[in-house]
Structure 1
């Protein structure tokens, strides 16, 4: 994992890495940004592709990390001509306007028997959301003081277009059997294993 840099997204790379099937040989990092998840995936999977719309961050990641197939493009329209054993997305889903279509498309890029893992940001609307975010504020202060907060260079989207409830509902509809978790540090996780058939 990316231990020399820390922020909320890097903190949860482990969720993607822990979900990788034992026999996985290929991975796609969706919205790679500075390439740190792609680098972490490359320690566990031999064939890693990473895609992002932003040319500057992709060029920077390509210069820093070798052995990864970095692509500049829109994951929703790019023709990969293949499927991947692992499709990972950290802090990217809220950049994609049509949430159900995005989840459906990422599921389509996942090979049978593979895994789709999304760590994302969403808008709090329920009391439980605000309570978890309050825990996140405390955790953020402690970890930022202890590890130092590294600011990524990738573009951001604000305000967040989807609520936690909307993400959970869309995931349940598009990814039958998906595991959902609300996380501290203002994140959620979706882990979905695609059936073999």
Structure 2
């Protein structure tokens, strides 16, 4: 891995730990969906021997490749790229699912690619629609200012979609439909997390 700044921080990097903590013991393969600049894929590769990272944007992938030459970098759309079903012990995504308008289809695809006993781990963005969301937004603003004073903000070069097309409530309903039993958390700094373990073979 190439060396970079001592600390790179932004709202997405802050929550990488949510993904890394969900990696099951003994995981051998991982897929980073919408890898962007590749920071999560490189961190996953420190824990998982075989990591594939997919993104449709060729320019941002050129940047990602400098993070870790041992990751398999793939340009493509996760919904249509011919990954074999059930081929990854970990299917992870940070700040990418809001780029995919059909959330049910996107979550179903992540589940399809996950091996039995494996994990889907997502940190995503959504849109506030309820009073409780506003409280998280205020808390997130305070938290972000504190971290920004300490670390600054590392600016990624991946394409952005704002505002997100889905509300937090819609994401939670979609997860309940497609990934029954998934653990859902609303997070400060305009994020949510979603962790689902695919049932092992009977």
State the TM-score, normalized to the length of structure 2. 0.95
Unaligned runs of 5+ in 2: none
Q: Residue 185 of structure 2 is aligned with which of 181, 184, 189?
A: 181
Q: Deviations over 1:147-175 (max 9, x none)?
A: 11011000000121000000000000000
The aligned residue for residue 162 of structure 2 is 158
The aligned residue for residue 62 of structure 1 is 65
Q: Deviations over 1:33-70 (max 9, x none)?
A: 00000000000000000000100010121133210000
Count of equivalent residues: 196
Aligned equivalents of 1:142 and 1:3: distance in 2? 18
Worse-matched range after superposition: 82-91 or 46-55: 82-91
Correspondence 1:113-192 to 2 at 5 A? 113-192=117-196
* Displacement over 4 Å in runs of 4+: none
- Residues 101 and 3 of structure 1, relative CA distance in 2, 3 Å threshold: farther
Q: Deviations over 1:48-97 (max 9, x none)?
A: 00000100010121133210000000000000125100000000000001
Contact 2:42 2:67 (C-alpha < 8 Å) held by counterparts: no
